[in-house]
Chains A and B, each alone.
Chain A
Amino acid sequence: MLAFVLTLVLLLGIVIVLAYAERKVAAFMQDRMGPTEAGPYGSLQSVLDVVKLLQKEDIVSAAADKKLFKLAPILIFAAVFAGFAVIPFTPDLIPAGIGIGVFYLLAIISLDVVGLLMAGWGSNNKYAMLGAMRSVAQIVSYEIPAGLAILSVVIVCQSLDFQEISYQQGALMNRFPGLEFETNWLFGIEALGIDTTRIGGITTWNVFRAPVLLVAFVIYFIASLAESNRAPFDIPEAESELVAGFHVEYSGFRFAVLFLAEYSMMVLVSLVAVILFLGSWNTPLPNIGPLQLAYWTTGTVGGLSGMLWGGFWLLSKTFVLLFLQLQIRWTYPRLRVDQLMHLCWKVLTPIALAVVLLAGIWRLLMI
């Protein structure tokens, strides 16, 4: 219960910062100033937006399928929020430390699609319907390359547990029960003979432990943009053609929930990318001889310092990825539907399959 409240508060905080950052970043990239009036540098803008949304009338249109319409936002948010349950925030803080976290995450996120379809269908509006259909087609398609990219990580790490995958990517690896006698080799190649188990830092991040995962990371990142309906894959919400996509009929609190779910999805996919590929809560600084940078910037596991360092590294890496998502949104034009499907089925999926194969071979031969 405590984990639930804490995660919710943390998530709300991040989403509010993100919504503000989105507007400011967009403005700066377009040589504008963004919000300036509310609070210093407009920093209270997104708080005020939330307050405004909560005051608005909650309209349910007369011809809507009321049950589906009302339930959809809650389902969408619940699906995304449930994903946070298995995210390890620090070396010893994870809301639900289950052994099959990766599998659970993939399964629970897929529930999102049902909510989107409910919202689109329930609105009884052609734009909402079109948006929902596009959204579902897109998310279901892109789950395949994303899933395959995640699968290659799972192959390399031999684990479905997020916390175990996290421990493997740092100097603390041998502290994790079951990994006491494992070793990390540079680039995962034992033949090079460079033992990075105690060096840690960036050298043990998954993208360096098995460089083939770098490709997997790129694939996952692209697919995750599509899964969170972000530009350049935002045809489900294409403002210029569909008004707003599946949430066009929503207002007030329900819209706020949908908005929250969308931004939470962005945060979640970035968190997963950081955990699976970019070293999770591990520090990027390696131990170099007597300079024990990795240990210094990790703190003591179980203590407050370990907690703070872990959270700090995880969140700062996540924010870098989130910034990249924002920048991509304000840089690239939207893809057409056929281009979207082409990219998914004819480019990403075959490459992802090859990466899975390579990751398997890597695991068998190199380590």
Chain B
Amino acid sequence: MERREAIQRKNGFWHVVKSLLSGLRLTWRHFLNADKRRQPVPVSDASYFKQPEGLVTLTYPYEAIPVPENGRYRLHNEIDDCIVCDLCAKVCPVNCITIESVKATEEIGMTSDGTKKRLYAPVFDIDMAKCCYCGLCTSVCPTDCLTMTPVYDFAEVDIKNMIYHFTDLSPEQAEEKKQLLAKQQEEMAAAKAAALAARKQG
């Protein structure tokens, strides 16, 4: 009974006119506010959730909301600081890091935090199409050379381009290093054999 009365009351002519007008008022208000724009402020900004008026569209390629600092986006490896320890490849849950290492014949140098580098990386590939951006690799990396960057717009037409090559060696250089290593090992083996022969004779 109450409900029926309520319906009757809401159905009166003036009530309908009033509600029709309030609808028009609503769209008109939004129309008038069209000169205001939502500002592309980062989520950390105090006004992020307090912009109730104006157009909400972001014309993306021209403007973008800055991503949070600790966001996880595209990986970057600073190969000069990488000691090729293979930890990142081992921890990766989707196996998207491929590392091949070649022992250096002598010490190559130091990373920026003072760790000695003893390995070359002829292959250091990360397949960004497989990566799930979990960030595990960046936390295990002992020299902090593997990091997340704020870049998130890196779609490619050819999926092969999603594999990022971070090595700083050209194939020729890699081949040279391999030969150097083989030669050194040969020499060492020869020296060992000579020493062994000398001991036998002695």
Q: Which of A's residues lie within 8 Å of B, judged by CB?
A: 25, 27-33, 36, 327-328, 330-332
Contact = CB atoms under 8 A, between A and B. Distances in A.
Given A32-B56, A332-B20, 16 more contacts: A25-B31, A28-B55, A29-B27, A29-B31, A30-B30, A31-B34, A31-B54, A31-B55, A32-B57, A33-B59, A327-B24, A327-B27, A327-B28, A328-B24, A331-B26, A331-B27
Nearest to A333: B23
- Chain B interface size range: 10 to 19
Interface in B43-75: 54-57, 59
A260 to B, nearest CB: 26
Interface string B63-101: 000000000000000000000000000000000000000
A331 B23 contact: yes
Q: Is the interface of B mostly helix, strand, loop or mixed?
A: helix
Nearest to B32: A28
- The 4 tightest CB contacts between A and B, nearest first, are A28-B34, A33-B57, A29-B27, A331-B27
Interface of B: 20, 23-24, 26-28, 30-31, 33-34, 54-57, 59
Contacts of B31: 25, 28-29, 327
Contacts, number: 37
Nearest to A34: B57
B53 to A, nearest CB: 9
B30 A28 contact: yes
A31 B56 contact: yes
Contacts of B27: 29, 327, 330-331
B89 to A, nearest CB: 44
Nearest to A323: B31
Contacts of B59: 33, 36
A332 B31 CA distance: 15
Contacts of B23: 331-332
Given A28-B55, A32-B56, A331 B30 contact: no
A295 to B, nearest CB: 34
A25 B55 CA distance: 12
A29 B29 CA distance: 8
Contacts of A25: 31
Nearest to B62: A36
B24 A29 contact: no
